[in-house]
């Protein structure tokens, strides 16, 4: 079953076109990676998926609902590239605030806060104000906020930037666990070994999806041994066309 369907998406900022004819289908329960250099349009595409941006052309369906839709947003968890947290508030207060925006009941809120805090290993720091957090702790906090309302769709924009390898590993295993529970996950990255862990990849360059497939497929088709080489191969092909 297709969970996200993008057809013929085009988007411009002023005169500059950032997305050209992007079409994607992401099935339910998949861990989908958007791989591309910075400036390739990853963040724009992600914002279009969650309904923050309306594309100039094209259509987005999330779980059959045309975006933007407040109803659909209720089931989407979003982790932005920069940490959007209230520094004056404690971690618990931040989580509680976002939980109440998703209309969670008070009792469920406090239980869920403990759960997500444990997941990102912040249980000990729940009652500290966020301004005293390190960069990595803030990243984990942002992930916890994205998970607070048990979303069906999780959209993560460069989630592991600034996180140490040990924690990155544990976040990935959490993501895998969530995926097993049926959560659809879209993740953007420019790190090749992270891309390796996704079920499916979309390679994005200059606003085009230059290739799509599982990491293995992409390597095989391009007759290369690494994703990096594959990316370069598809990029070259595109510019020749």
Partner 1 sequence: MNVQAIVKRIIKQLVRDKRSMALMLMAPIFVITLLWLVLDMDAYEPTIAVTDIPEHMSIALEDGDAEILEMTETGGKEALENETADAHIILEGETLHVTMEGSDSLATTAVQRIINQATEGINKQPFSLEIDFLHGSTDLNMFDHVGPVLIGFFVFFFTFIIGGVSFLRERTQGTLERLLATPLKRWQIVIGYLIGFGLFILLQSVLVTIYSVYVLGMYMEGAIIEVLIIALLLAVSALSLGTLLSAYAKNEFQMIQFIPIIIVPQVFFAGIFHVESVAWMEAIGKIMPLYYGGNALSEIMLRGGHLVDIWSDIAVLAAFSFVFILLNIFALKRHRAL
* Residue ranges in contact with partner 1 by CB under 8 A: 50-54, 68-71, 73-74, 76, 78, 80, 82-89, 93, 97-98, 100-103, 129, 145
Query: Cα–Cα distance between 222 and 49 in angstroms, integer?
Result: 29
Q: What is the distance between the alpha carbons of residues 35 and 128, in angstroms, rounded to a whole number?
A: 35
Closest distance to partner 1 from the beta carbon of 214 (Å): 29
The least CB distance from residue 112 to partner 1, in Å, is 15
Contacts of 109 (CB under 8 A, 6+ apart): 95, 96, 99, 100
Map tokens 């990243």 to a residue.
Answer: 139
- 225 Cβ neighbours under 8 A, 6+ residues apart: 219
| Closer of 147 and 201 to partner 1 (Cβ) | 147
H helices present in the chain, as ranges = 42-50, 70-73, 91-101, 106-119, 135-147, 165-180, 192-195, 215-222, 227-240
CB nearer partner 1, residue 66 or residue 214: 66
Nearer to partner 1, 79 or 203 (CB): 79
Tell me how far, at minimum, the Cβ of 44 lies from partner 1, in Å: 13
Q: What are phi and psi of 3, to 5 degrees?
A: -100, -45
Secondary structure class of 80 (helix, strand, coil)? coil
Cβ 88 to partner 1, closest distance in Å?
4
> Which CB sits closer to partner 1, 45 or 209?
45
Report in angstroms how near the CB of residue 49 gets to partner 1 at its nearest: 11
Which C-beta is closer to partner 1: that of 32 or that of 98?
A: 98
**Rama region for 132: left / alpha / beta (φ>0; ψ in -120 to 50; rest):** alpha
- Across the chain, which distance is largest between two alpha carbons, in Å? 59
User: Which of 100, 236 has the CB closer to partner 1?
Assistant: 100
Q: How far is the CB of 48 from partner 1 (least distance, A)?
A: 11
User: CB of residue 236 vs partner 1: minimum separation in angstroms?
Assistant: 35
Count other C-beta atoms under 10 Å from residue 127's C-beta. Answer: 9
Identify which of residues 186 and 227 has a Cβ nearer to partner 1 in the complex.
186
Cβ-contact 127, 92 below 8 angstroms? yes
């Amino acid at each position: 079953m297709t969970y996200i369907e993008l057809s013929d998406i085009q988007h411009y900022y002023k005169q500059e076109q950032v997305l050209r004819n992007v079409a994607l289908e992401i099935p339910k329960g998949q861990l989908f990676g958007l791989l591309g250099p910075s400036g390739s349009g990853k963040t724009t595409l992600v914002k279009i998926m969650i309904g923050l941006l309306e594309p100039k052309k094209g259509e987005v369906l999330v779980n059959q609902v045309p975006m933007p839709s407040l109803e659909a947003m209720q089931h989407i968890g979003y982790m932005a590239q920069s940490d959007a947290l209230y520094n004056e508030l404690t971690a618990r207060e931040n989580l509680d605030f976002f939980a109440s925006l998703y209309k969670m009941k008070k009792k469920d809120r406090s239980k869920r806060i403990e759960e997500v805090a444990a997941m990102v290993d912040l249980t000990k720091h729940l009652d500290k104000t966020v301004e005293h957090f390190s960069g990595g702790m803030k990243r984990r906090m942002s992930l916890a906020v994205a998970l607070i309302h048990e979303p069906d769709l999780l959209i993560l924009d460069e989630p592991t930037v600034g996180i140490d390898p040990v924690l990155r590993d544990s976040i990935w295993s959490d993501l895998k666990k969530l995926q097993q529970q049926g959560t659809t996950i879209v993740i953007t990255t420019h790190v090749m070994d992270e891309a390796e862990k996704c079920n499916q990849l979309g390679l994005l360059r200059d606003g085009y999806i230059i290739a799509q497939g599982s990491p293995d497929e992409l390597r095989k088709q391009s007759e290369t041994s690494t994703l990096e080489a594959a990316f370069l191969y598809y990029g070259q092909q595109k510019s020749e066309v």
